[in-house]
A and B are shown apart, each in its own frame.
Chain A
């Protein structure tokens, strides 16, 4: 395993159903051993990407390379990938061990060897006791783990997971997320995980690929996507970002101002070439997280504006205030997250406050 080599590369991959295009010119590299999550709303084409890689659907255009070799035309049953299906697709007429051993038995591997590896795989997913049950006799989480064991027993180069946790309830989903992650670390196989749940993506992935309307919008670590979204879609998709529209001002070193309804806001543009090269006056958004926004004190100089508390919502460890700010013609609704206090909030609804965020916590997104 080497995190720096590409296992699989998609080059200019397009896919249409009849005349309806679902993927436009996708380029994507999957690194050996990584946990890559493809994230997007329904209809974004994320499942199609997985099905194309798995060989469940033919490409319309482009190519898929494995270790540099084109496998676009390789039939599904010869690709060294295995899939965990959304509905698990466990064979109802076979026991758990029959299901898990299927991939080996169709390759005519000796019974003894199959039995040994099935036992091993079931041990790995902690289902040793359930070997002789039928899928119908298992719970959702158990079926999920059978599907996983079945996929990893053939020692595939890549395991494709198609929203495998979607059918589970919240608590179970949390457990399975940790479980999947730990398995992936243990067997060191590359995982391609498709989901529409951004929390799931952030919690599990080494890298996330955000898709929308058949395009890849951004590819990066969870941290990058969270703090440095490169477009409005990603900025809005990840949680409750505050976005304030405006026009870019001239670059000032590693920072750049943006003229907005809240006045001039200065944001960081470090390491982001496209923000540096964008022309003056270009439309953009200032993006800052609710936890970056805070009540200003006298020492705060930059990015200062006043607003009115519209609503306060207690959310356990934190309290979220909805603030309206800016002139009457362009009222902005912003969110401010602060630690909750045992003696209640210092703020009251209707109160006018002074707010600010530090320039290094602000980020620019081109419109």
Chain B
């Protein structure tokens, strides 16, 4: 555009200001903190004070200490499970939404997304009370005769974290899957029907493959949100539900070892970046746009 051809002195000063702002703002408040953080992971702590001398000790400790790697691995497994549960529940719901017509479709979608905006802390608290020994879940299971007496199966352990995170994150799985299903042209399904496929065949051979990109981004979405969460495990995990996020957080609280916490964050960031890249890789629509 020839906008530049018309600049006057005042505009030039403004555009210079905007240029500086446009570069400085993201760099100062995002890049610099992250860089300092990364540098911190190469420092160490001696008797409560940070020693500013470069060392790989934090990373060595992460890989050699018998505690951290297993927790790290268990947390990854936990978050993958959360992603799987969310997708198993979200896919049928998203599919059902796309079978609806016009206004109903979006009203129901909205209905399923609104809980996202509800206070996070309150939801964790409410879910904890539902899962608790005297909670609604145990009451319901006892009343249905599935259990003889209230169980501690979902109280202050990994199961509780798994269920709570899944419940919190389902909406994040519904949206991408819904969007990918909605993008599939109806004519493709008609064509499949027309060629003699049954409803199930059409679903398995047309709809499902074409919606996999949405599933991939939903999975990476949920996984990233789950693995970064330290509030939920803290609240519902009790002593046995120890996740990576909690260990990380404790380095900045009780353990007070910021450099080691920074190193753990780098490990977390690497997993997150991998998850995002994988989601991106499979989340891309290959040849489905017509």
Interface positions of A (Cβ within 8 A of B): 55-58, 75-77
In the assembled complex, which residues on chain A have CB atoms less than 8 Å from the CB atom of B6?
75-77
In the assembled complex, which residues on chain A have CB atoms less than 8 Å from the CB atom of B2?
55-58, 75-76
In the assembled complex, which residues on chain B have CB atoms less than 8 Å from the CB atom of A75?
2, 5-6
Total contacts A-B at CB 8 Å: 14
Give B1-52 interface residues, CB cut-off 8 Å to A: 1-2, 5-6
Least distance between B5 CB and chain A CB atoms (Å): 5
Give bound CA distance, A294 to B1, whole Å. Answer: 54
Among residues of B, the one whose C-beta sits closest to the C-beta of A77 is: B6
8 cross-chain pairs, A with B, having the tightest CB-CB distances, nearest first: A75-B6, A75-B5, A76-B2, A77-B6, A56-B2, A55-B2, A57-B2, A58-B2
Give bound CA distance, A10 to B2, whole Å. Answer: 19
Least distance between A331 CB and chain B CB atoms (Å): 43
In the assembled complex, which residues on chain A have CB atoms less than 8 Å from the CB atom of B5?
55, 58, 75-76
Among residues of B, the one whose C-beta sits closest to the C-beta of A56 is: B2
Among residues of A, the one whose C-beta sits closest to the C-beta of B5 is: A75
Give bound CA distance, A58 to B5, whole Å. Answer: 9
Least distance between B133 CB and chain A CB atoms (Å): 60
Give bound CA distance, A76 to B5, whole Å. Answer: 8
Give B215-263 interface residues, CB cut-off 8 Å to A: none
In the assembled complex, which residues on chain B have CB atoms less than 8 Å from the CB atom of A57?
2
In the assembled complex, which residues on chain B have CB atoms less than 8 Å from the CB atom of A76?
2, 5-6
Tally of contact residues, B, Cβ under 8 A:
4
Not counting A57-B2, A77-B6, a sample of 12 additional A-B residue pairs whose C-beta atoms are within 8 angstroms of each other reads A55-B2, A55-B5, A56-B1, A56-B2, A58-B2, A58-B5, A75-B2, A75-B5, A75-B6, A76-B2, A76-B5, A76-B6
Give bound CA distance, A77 to B5, whole Å. Answer: 9
Least distance between A121 CB and chain B CB atoms (Å): 25
In the assembled complex, which residues on chain B have CB atoms less than 8 Å from the CB atom of A56?
1-2
14 A-B pairs (CB sep. < 8 Å): A55-B2, A55-B5, A56-B1, A56-B2, A57-B2, A58-B2, A58-B5, A75-B2, A75-B5, A75-B6, A76-B2, A76-B5, A76-B6, A77-B6
Among residues of A, the one whose C-beta sits closest to the C-beta of B8 is: A75
Least distance between B12 CB and chain A CB atoms (Å): 14
Give bound CA distance, A56 to B5, whole Å. Answer: 9
Give bound CA distance, A49 to B5, whole Å. Answer: 18
Give bound CA distance, A55 to B1, whole Å. Answer: 10
In the assembled complex, which residues on chain A have CB atoms less than 8 Å from the CB atom of B1?
56
Least distance between A159 CB and chain B CB atoms (Å): 19
Least distance between A85 CB and chain B CB atoms (Å): 14
In the assembled complex, which residues on chain B have CB atoms less than 8 Å from the CB atom of A58?
2, 5
Least distance between A126 CB and chain B CB atoms (Å): 33
Least distance between B4 CB and chain A CB atoms (Å): 9
Least distance between A53 CB and chain B CB atoms (Å): 12
Give bound CA distance, A75 to B5, whole Å. Answer: 6
Give bound CA distance, A111 to B1, whole Å. Answer: 31
Give bound CA distance, A58 to B6, whole Å. Answer: 12
Least distance between A51 CB and chain B CB atoms (Å): 9
Give bound CA distance, A58 to B2, whole Å. Answer: 7
Give bound CA distance, A56 to B1, whole Å. Answer: 7
Give bound CA distance, A349 to B6, whole Å. Answer: 66
Among residues of A, the one whose C-beta sits closest to the C-beta of B1 is: A56
Give bound CA distance, A57 to B3, whole Å. Answer: 10
Give bound CA distance, A77 to B8, whole Å. Answer: 12
Least distance between B7 CB and chain A CB atoms (Å): 9
Least distance between B245 CB and chain A CB atoms (Å): 47
Give bound CA distance, A57 to B1, whole Å. Answer: 7
Least distance between B223 CB and chain A CB atoms (Å): 42
Among residues of A, the one whose C-beta sits closest to the C-beta of B3 is: A76
Least distance between B40 CB and chain A CB atoms (Å): 45
Give bound CA distance, A24 to B2, whole Å. Answer: 21
In the assembled complex, which residues on chain B have CB atoms less than 8 Å from the CB atom of A77?
6
Least distance between A200 CB and chain B CB atoms (Å): 28
Among residues of A, the one whose C-beta sits closest to the C-beta of B7 is: A75
Among residues of B, the one whose C-beta sits closest to the C-beta of A76 is: B2
Contact with A along B176-209 (1 / 0, CB 8 A): 0000000000000000000000000000000000
Give bound CA distance, A58 to B4, whole Å. Answer: 10
Least distance between A16 CB and chain B CB atoms (Å): 16
Give bound CA distance, A272 to B5, whole Å. Answer: 44
